[in-house]
């Protein structure tokens, strides 16, 4: 009712309001004056009425002025309220107003638009928290954080990031802030809630995008890296980090190539970087070397491109590379294999499943008189008069059954002449492609020699084992003595290579030198170890003579052999007595020095380490004195057994110099500490009690270690320094080992 009256008063202009005020005041004043005068004097005089009129005019004017001022202020306040209401309504930020009892007084439309809640849905703070934070734990945490921010009135409310569940069930990320408003009698909380869901989603999307990019970089089967304008590494994938000898990509950040294992190639890499950055053009698929952390040089196929920012400015270089070392090796092997086939003096044919020639080498063209273009596309039965086209399907099936088809046939040259050949056919399949590769050996000369060999058959049978081979070392003939010595019957040996007797003892260099002597001098003789048919290895004295035709070309080889097993047994026994200790059967000083010379030569070639352990038994003399030399000898044998158990590598040597002195030679070491580990093992083993003829003996040992090349470059200096180190160990209290030191012990 009061708001309606105020509204009507505001619509009346000031002059009308004054008239109304005067009229009402005059009527009220004159009535009161007249009544009062009548009651007092029983009469109504004009003077009193005039005085009342003047008073009413003055009072009415004063009251009217006050009303007008009040209405003006009320109008101004109403305008402010309208503006404030308009601002709150139009504010694009959700807003809520709570009173001091946590009852919700107002929500702006944006609040309802963003969260869906209306005033009736959340009449107070508790109702808002129950719906906005359904998780009790999260609700309690937010409530505590909210209360903490309001505990100190002197500090500004710190914004709080929260997650709000909307009325429709969706969650939104919100940054909220609040402030207290109102006087001391009535404090209210004005809460602003900024919807930051899009920003959070954008940040998550950016993080996911970066994670995806990093995943792609890590998954790509190549090394990826990027540098700044000064060629400092800004990032890389894990494969690149491992190439640099690091386990984490972060370890490379800020480094330059001079600080990595490929420092020798750093200037070359830096020049490539500058070229790419200055030209703003990529440099693609070029090959360059790289040194690995292990010191091995590998070959890379590298591509580099300018690294640009969002403005298109070059800020560095982006590079990728792949290790093509193995690929290059395969390419070289393929080239070598093709070259070997092309240059071979054996005709080579490659046939498809239909029998058509797909490839031939140079010698095949030479032997048949056709060009390569003429032979490719021909069938073998076109130049093999003994092969029928109908037989090919059977031959192909045999080849597919993994059978090697080998037989003699004849080939017809382009000029019509015919010559005998030996064919060896193989089958291969790769990526769905089936092929046969066939070697055709011209055996014209072999056929001729067969006749000559038959003539010499009588002379062939002798007391010595004999064999005759062709120029390819294929056995053509053996005598009875050969069978008695090797166990191979004639039919078993013929057609085989001479290496049928190979024992595996001799290396490739031995045979290379043997055949070089035969090629140069026409003969070789010497001692060789061969293998019988039953697998036994035996020594023989072998003589191989080359048989040449008038042109000086080798056509055959004649080999004679004598079994020297008995003689070798005697020699070996004598050799063993000369080089091994009679008591322990360990190598003696002579054999040790010989092996030491060989080990030093090998270490010098390979630039590796070797160690000499000079061992002397402690307390050995009391054993001899107390229990006799028989017990002492048995103790030395047991010591030898334990030393051999500690030194397990075949390349190492355990030797006895005499008395209670032993020397262990350790070859091909990669670090000094390896010798120390062996010494510790020996000390531990020899510290264990020995039980000899029911006597329990406790001894120890002192070990001196000299390492090549640090402690000596020759055998004598190493032995001397190892001996000195052993005495240093004895001076240190015995039962220990010491590495040689030129300064120790004076």
Average pLDDT of the chain to the nearest whole number: 84
Measure the CA–CA gap between 638 and 618, rounded to whole angstroms: 15
Measure the CA–CA gap between 584 and 589, rounded to whole angstroms: 13
pLDDT of residue 494: 92
Measure the CA–CA gap between 557 and 523, rounded to whole angstroms: 9
Evaluate whether 241 touches 248 at the Cβ level (below 8 Å).
yes
Measure the CA–CA gap between 134 and 127, rounded to whole angstroms: 11
Higher model confidence: residue 732 or residue 18?
A: 732
* 593: number of Cβ within 10 Å: 17
Task: Point out which residues pair with 540 in neighbouring strands.
Answer: 528, 563
Q: What is the pLDDT of residues 474-508, one digit of tens each?
A: 999 888 888 988 999 999 999 999 888 998 899 98
Residue 543 forms part of a structural domain: yes
pLDDT of residue 52: 66
pLDDT of residue 244: 87
Which helix (H) or strand (E) segment is 357 a member of? Answer: strand 357-360
Q: DSSP secondary-structure letter at 738?
A: E
Burial of 415 (0-12, 13-18, 19+ CB in 10 A): exposed
Q: How many residues does the chain have?
A: 746
Mean pLDDT of 56-67: 69
Measure the CA–CA gap between 725 and 706, rounded to whole angstroms: 7
According to DSSP, the β-strands at 347-351 and 609-618 are unpaired
Same domain, yes or no: 621 and 734: yes
Residue 359 has pLDDT above 70, yes or no: yes
Burial of 616 (0-12, 13-18, 19+ CB in 10 A): buried
% helix / strand / coil in the chain, to the nearest 5?
A: 45, 25, 25
**Domain closes at, from 540, 568, 596:** 568
> Residue 603's domain spans which residues?
580-739
Same domain, yes or no: 59 and 148: no
**Domain closes at, from 44, 70, 89:** 89
Evaluate whether 99 touches 188 at the Cβ level (below 8 Å).
yes
Residues marked as catalytic: 660
In the chain, % of residues over pLDDT 70: 86
pLDDT of residue 6: 53
Burial of 378 (0-12, 13-18, 19+ CB in 10 A): middle
Residue 339 forms part of a structural domain: no
Q: What is the pLDDT of residues 575-588, one digit of tens each?
A: 887 788 888 888 98
Q: What is the pLDDT of residues 699-738, one digit of tens each?
A: 888 999 999 998 889 989 999 999 999 999 989 888 899 9
Q: DSSP secondary-structure letter at 251?
A: G
Distance of CA 201 to the CA centre of its chain: 35
In Å, how far are 381, 389, 412, 431, 745 from 356, measured between CA atoms?
A: 10, 11, 17, 19, 84
Same domain, yes or no: 236 and 272: yes
193 φ, ψ to 5°? Answer: -125, 115
Dihedral sign (CA 503, 509, 511, 517): negative
Mean pLDDT of 516-535: 91
Residue 209 forms part of a structural domain: no
Name the CA dihedral angle for 459, 461, 464, 469, rounded to a multiple of 10 degrees: 80
Evaluate whether 68 touches 61 at the Cβ level (below 8 Å).
no
Task: Point out which residues pair with 547 in neighbouring strands.
Answer: 556
698: CATH: 3.30.70.270
pLDDT of residue 733: 85
Same domain, yes or no: 733 and 585: yes
Measure the CA–CA gap between 399 and 435, rounded to whole angstroms: 10
For the chain, give the longest Cα–Cα distance. 194
Residue 420 has pLDDT above 60, yes or no: yes
Same domain, yes or no: 299 and 383: no
Q: What is the pLDDT of residues 644-670, one digit of tens each?
A: 889 888 889 999 988 889 999 999 898
Same domain, yes or no: 451 and 561: yes
421: CATH: 3.30.450.20
Name the CA dihedral angle for 469, 470, 474, 480, rounded to a multiple of 10 degrees: -20
In Å, how far are 58, 158, 557 from 161, measured between CA atoms?
A: 64, 10, 96
Same domain, yes or no: 735 and 591: yes
pLDDT of residue 746: 42
DSSP helix/strand/coil, 384: coil
Evaluate whether 459 touches 484 at the Cβ level (below 8 Å).
no
Q: DSSP secondary-structure letter at 252?
A: G
Q: What is the pLDDT of residues 381-407, one digit of tens each?
A: 999 999 898 989 898 988 888 778 888
Of the listed ranges 316-320, 395-399, 463-467, 632-636, the one predicted with least confidence:
463-467
Same domain, yes or no: 151 and 297: no
280 φ, ψ to 5°? Answer: 60, 30
Q: What is the pLDDT of residues 189-227, one digit of tens each?
A: 888 888 888 888 777 776 676 676 677 777 778 889 999
150 φ, ψ to 5°? Answer: -95, -5
361 φ, ψ to 5°? Answer: -90, 175
Residue 469 has pLDDT above 60, yes or no: yes
Which helix (H) or strand (E) segment is 286 a member of? Answer: strand 283-291
Distance of CA 524 to the CA centre of its chain: 53
Residue 491 forms part of a structural domain: yes
Question: DSSP secondary structure string, 169-224?
Answer: S-EEEEEEEEEEES-SSS-EEEEEEEE-HHHHHHHHHHHHHHHHHHHHHHHSSSEE
Higher model confidence: residue 616 or residue 148?
A: 616
Our CA angle for 311, 315, 320, nearest 5°, is 115
Same domain, yes or no: 377 and 437: yes
pLDDT of residue 127: 86
Q: What is the pLDDT of residues 613-645, one digit of tens each?
A: 999 988 888 888 888 888 888 888 898 898 988
pLDDT of residue 275: 93
Residue 207 forms part of a structural domain: no
Residue 574 forms part of a structural domain: no
Residues 6 or more apart in contact with residue 671 via CB below 8 angstroms: 609
Measure the CA–CA gap between 132 and 94, rounded to whole angstroms: 14
Bond from prior residue into 709 cis (ω within 30 degrees of 0)? yes
Same domain, yes or no: 543 and 610: no
Same domain, yes or no: 551 and 601: no
The overall pTM is greater than 0.75: no
Our CA angle for 527, 488, 455, nearest 5°, is 85
Same domain, yes or no: 601 and 656: yes
In the chain, % of residues over pLDDT 90: 26
**Domain closes at, from 412, 442, 472:** 442
- Range list of H helices, 280-350: 325-343
pLDDT of residue 18: 67
pLDDT of residue 534: 92
In angstroms and rounded to an integer, the radius of gyration of the C-alpha atoms of the chain is: 55
Among candidate residues 342, 347, 349, the one with its CA nearest the CA of residue 367: 347
Residue 334 forms part of a structural domain: no
Mean pLDDT of 350-370: 90
Mean pLDDT of 341-350: 82
Residue 544 forms part of a structural domain: yes
* 229: number of Cβ within 10 Å: 13
pLDDT of residue 4: 57
* 344: number of Cβ within 10 Å: 14
The domain total for the chain is 6
- Range list of H helices, 344-408: 362-368, 372-375, 392-400
547 φ, ψ to 5°? Answer: -105, 125
Q: DSSP secondary-structure letter at 713?
A: S
Measure the CA–CA gap between 704 and 725, rounded to whole angstroms: 4
């Amino acid at each position: 009712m009061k708001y309606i009256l105020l509204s009507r008063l505001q619509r009346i202009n000031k002059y009308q309001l004054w008239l109304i005020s005067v009229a009402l005041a005059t009527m009220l004043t004159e009535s009161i004056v007249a009544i009062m005068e009548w009651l007092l004097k029983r009469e109504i005089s004009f003077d009193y009425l005039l005085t009342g009129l003047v008073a009413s005019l003055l009072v009415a004017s004063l009251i009217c002025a006050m009303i007008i001022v009040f209405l003006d202020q009320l109008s101004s306040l109403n305008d402010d309220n309208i503006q404030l209401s308009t601002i709150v309504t139009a504010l694009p930020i959700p807003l809520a107003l709570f009173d001091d009892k946590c009852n919700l007084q107002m929500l702006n439309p944006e609040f309802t638009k963003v969260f869906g809640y209306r005033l009736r849905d959340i009449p107070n703070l508790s109702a808002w928290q129950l719906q906005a934070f359904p998780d009790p734990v999260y609700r309690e945490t937010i409530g505590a954080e909210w209360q903490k921010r309001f505990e100190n009135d002197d500090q500004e409310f710190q914004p709080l990031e929260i997650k709000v569940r909307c009325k429709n069930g969706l969650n939104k990320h919100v940054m909220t802030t609040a402030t207290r408003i109102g006087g001391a009698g009535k404090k209210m909380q004005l809460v602003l809630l900024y919807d930051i869901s899009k920003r959070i989603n954008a940040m998550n999307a950016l993080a996911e995008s970066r994670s995806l990019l990093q995943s792609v970089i890590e998954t790509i089967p190549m090394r990826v890296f990027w540098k700044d304008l000064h060629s400092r590494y800004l990032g890389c994938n894990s494969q690149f980090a491992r190439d640099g000898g690091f386990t984490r990509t972060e370890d490379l950040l800020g480094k330059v190539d001079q600080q990595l294992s490929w420092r020798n190639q750093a200037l070359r890499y830096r020049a490539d970087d500058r070229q790419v950055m200055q030209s703003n053009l990529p440099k693609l698929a070029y090959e360059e070397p790289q040194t690995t952390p292990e010191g091995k040089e590998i070959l890379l196929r590298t591509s580099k491109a300018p690294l640009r920012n969002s403005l298109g400015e070059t800020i560095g270089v982006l590079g990728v590379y792949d290790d093509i070392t193995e690929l290059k090796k395969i390419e070289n092997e393929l080239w070598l294999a093709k070259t070997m086939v092309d240059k071979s003096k054996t005709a080579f044919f490659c046939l498809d499943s239909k029998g058509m020639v797909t490839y031939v080498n140079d010698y095949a063209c030479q032997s048949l008189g056709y060009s390569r273009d003429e032979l490719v596309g021909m069938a073998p039965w076109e130049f093999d008069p003994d092969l029928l086209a109908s037989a090919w399907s059977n031959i192909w099936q045999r080849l597919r059954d993994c059978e090697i088809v080998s037989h003699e046939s004849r080939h017809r040259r382009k000029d019509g002449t015919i010559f005998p050949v030996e064919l060896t056919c193989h089958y291969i399949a790769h990526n769905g492609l089936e092929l046969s590769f066939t070697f055709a050996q011209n055996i014209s000369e072999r056929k001729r020699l067969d006749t000559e060999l038959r003539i010499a058959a009588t002379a062939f049978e002798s007391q010595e084992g004999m064999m005759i081979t062709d120029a390819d070392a294929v056995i053509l003939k053996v005598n009875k003595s050969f069978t008695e010595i090797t166990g191979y019957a004639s039919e078993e040996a013929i057609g085989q290579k001479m290496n049928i007797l190979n024992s595996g003892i001799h290396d490739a260099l031995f045979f290379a030198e043997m055949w070089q002597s035969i090629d140069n001098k026409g003969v070789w003789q010497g001692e060789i170890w061969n293998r019988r048919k039953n697998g036994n290895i035996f020594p023989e004295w072998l003589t191989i003579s080359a048989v040449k035709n008038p042109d000086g070309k080798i056509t055959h080889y004649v080999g004679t052999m004598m079994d020297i097993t008995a003689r070798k047994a005697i020699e070996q026994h004598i050799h063993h007595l000369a080089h091994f200790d009679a008591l322990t059967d360990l190598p003696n000083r002579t054999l040790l020095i010989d092996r030491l010379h060989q080990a030093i030569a090998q270490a010098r070639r390979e630039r590796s380490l070797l160690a000499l352990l000079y061992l002397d038994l402690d307390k050995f003399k009391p054993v001899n004195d107390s229990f006799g030399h028989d017990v002492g000898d048995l103790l030395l044998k047991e010591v030898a057994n334990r030393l051999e158990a500690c030194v397990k590598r075949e390349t190492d040597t355990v030797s006895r110099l005499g008395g209670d002195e032993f020397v262990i030679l350790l070859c091909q070491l990669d670090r000094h500490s390896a010798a120390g580990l062996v010494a510790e093992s020996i000390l531990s083993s020899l510290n264990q009690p020995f039980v000899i003829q029911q006597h329990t003996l406790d001894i120890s040992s002192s070990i001196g270690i000299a390492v090549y090349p640090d402690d000596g470059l020759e055998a004598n200096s190493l032995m001397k320094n190892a001996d000195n180190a052993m005495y240093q160990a004895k001076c240190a209290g015995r039962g220990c080992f010491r590495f040689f030191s030129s300064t120790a012990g004076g």
